[in-house]
Structure 1
């Protein structure tokens, strides 16, 4: 997948006559006026064929911008320099917002745990998100939104922040159903404690390092195992397993993030039990040995919605091929995303 961000040169027009023998006089550091800064930022986007972020909302200026050069966050926002903020995402699928209300409910639960008060009531947040999606004209992608302690100063406490801040951006991404298998590893990066793992906060350094660890070993992503030896989750996805007796089992959500897509999977999968394709569906404690001994394994997340795992720590999962039951579950979720009941899909009123 190509990067969504254009390639930026951070020292454009500030030529550094570098070298081991360089001095501070060798580097040109211009001082720009506000109009010149804006011009420089806009210039960076002129060569981009397709703008990946068609619209952003910011409570700082209280509206929507369609100019990617203005999609910025104040440097003294406590989410930037202290990590005091939370976020969530809803997928845009064929002109609909999928599971927006479910994600928004989790968003506000995370905000309560992180002690970040919203500047708006839930109904206003929802209206802003729907209007932002409409203004973007994006038909497929994602809607990501953040709630931060807000800008104010560079201290540890948010007491000096006049008000919290709400940001949201639409990301244009022509994602599709994942059917190819990937490799996974067991992460050696310590996972978050339950207090932080169960809220969707912006402190993602463990997640980033876990993902990088997997990529360095030629895998797609990692899987965490908690201190009790039970399977937890991936760096930004849940995991699920199908036993040799065709039981679908996901880790309990008491120590990990309660994945909206994972919970939707648990709600839909009983259809396959009724058809005799699966024997049961549930959550529970899963040991590493049990998980690796599964017939099939998968990552579960909003933009996938299911990604088959065919190898784990260089050993095949099941027969090392994408399993039929995994694909059946993937089809079930994908169909729900593109044509499911409108109780879970909100039609975007494009402007």
Structure 2
């Protein structure tokens, strides 16, 4: 069953618990993390915790708990839910305080939900996904996983309304990432992805794919590239915790490669699922 958690108390995920003066509600003053659970076990928990704590530090938020304490709560909630395959979302905000741009120096308010995994349409993995290129209108520090996702949502919605699965974002003539994913290209046997600068989220599945590429002996280049390079690529795919690895077969209604999921993309996905 789906369950929730707020500051040490297990609750129903549908309980109305958000106070009006909660800073996450008022300002988006907080960070979050999304962890995929396979067969009752969290995948790449250490990497998720690293990012959660780095994000909190970046916005000067004291989480008030150790990573071991948070991991214990996550595992307890998974067990209580009885769900084998599920999504864990955790949010840390600066809590309840009078509305003021200056923030209080207090331990974070931490909430979590455990809900059944939202399965993606597997025909996307089989046939490949369409993407739409859009301007990257987000702030400068996209590596911080904050609650402020409105530009991402608007880009995703615009792509959806255009019949695409994802928006691929472009900043100053350079591809950054998807609205909720990282992007990889394969060109002449080399795997290429934008570098982990402040302009992209340092994805957990991205980390796994780079590690898998090393294991498989696939050369990797982390470098900037223009949108035109997408159409010159042999293969393109997206990665994220929720979608894992999804091939891209067209962008802005232009076919990529042969218009089918590539052999190397499939090989990398199979290696990823072995890790899972």
Shared fold per TM-score greater than 0.5: yes
C-alpha offsets along residues 26-82 of structure 1, whole Å, 9 cap, x if unaligned?
xxxxxxxxxxxxxxxxxxxxxxxxx5xx111101xx2212x3332632231101110
Give the one of 130, 142, 150 matched to 1:183.
Answer: 130
Find the partner of 2:233 among 279, 290, 294.
294
Q: Which residue of 1 aligns with 2:220?
A: 281
2:113 match? 169
RMSD (Å), alpha carbons: 1.7
Stretches of structure 1 that go unaligned for 5 or more consecutive residues are 1-50, 338-351
Alpha-carbon distance in structure 2 between the residues aligned to 1:180 and 1:326? 12
Over alpha carbons, which structure has the higher Rg? 1
Q: What is the alpha-carbon distance in structure 2 between the residues aligned to residue 68 and residue 165 of structure 1?
A: 16
Structure 2 residue aligned with 1:64: 10
CA offsets 1:116-162 (integer angstroms, 9 cap, x no match): 11121222112111111111111002111011011122232222x75
Match of 1:86, SS state, is strand
Query: Which of the numbers 199, 202, 211 marks the counterpart of 1:267?
Result: 211
The 2-side partners of 1:282 and 1:55 are apart by 42
| 1:217 is the counterpart of 2:162 | yes
Q: Distance in 2 between matches of 1:184 and 1:123?
A: 39
The 1:235/1:309 distance shift into structure 2, 3 A limit, reads same
Shift of 1:261: 0.7
The Cα shift of 1:189 comes to 5.0
- Runs of 4 or more, structure 1, over 6 Å off, are none
TM-score normalised to the size of structure 2? Answer: 0.93
The match for 2:194 is: 251
Task: Name the structure where strand makes up a greater proportion of residues.
Answer: 2
Matched, 1:148 2:93: yes
Residue of structure 2 in register with 1:236 after alignment = 180
Q: Deviations over 1:167-201 (max 9, x none)?
A: 111121253663331110111351331xx201000
What residue is the counterpart of 2:139 in the other structure?
A: 192
The answer (yes or no) to whether the contact 2:156–2:167 under 8 Å persists in 1 is yes
SS of 1:185's partner is strand
Q: Secondary structure at the match of 2:127?
A: coil
Aligned length, in residue pairs: 272
Task: Name which of structure 1's ranges 303-312 and 179-188 shifts more when overlaid on structure 2.
Answer: 179-188
Tell me the distance in 1 between the aligned counterparts of 2:171 and 2:65: 36
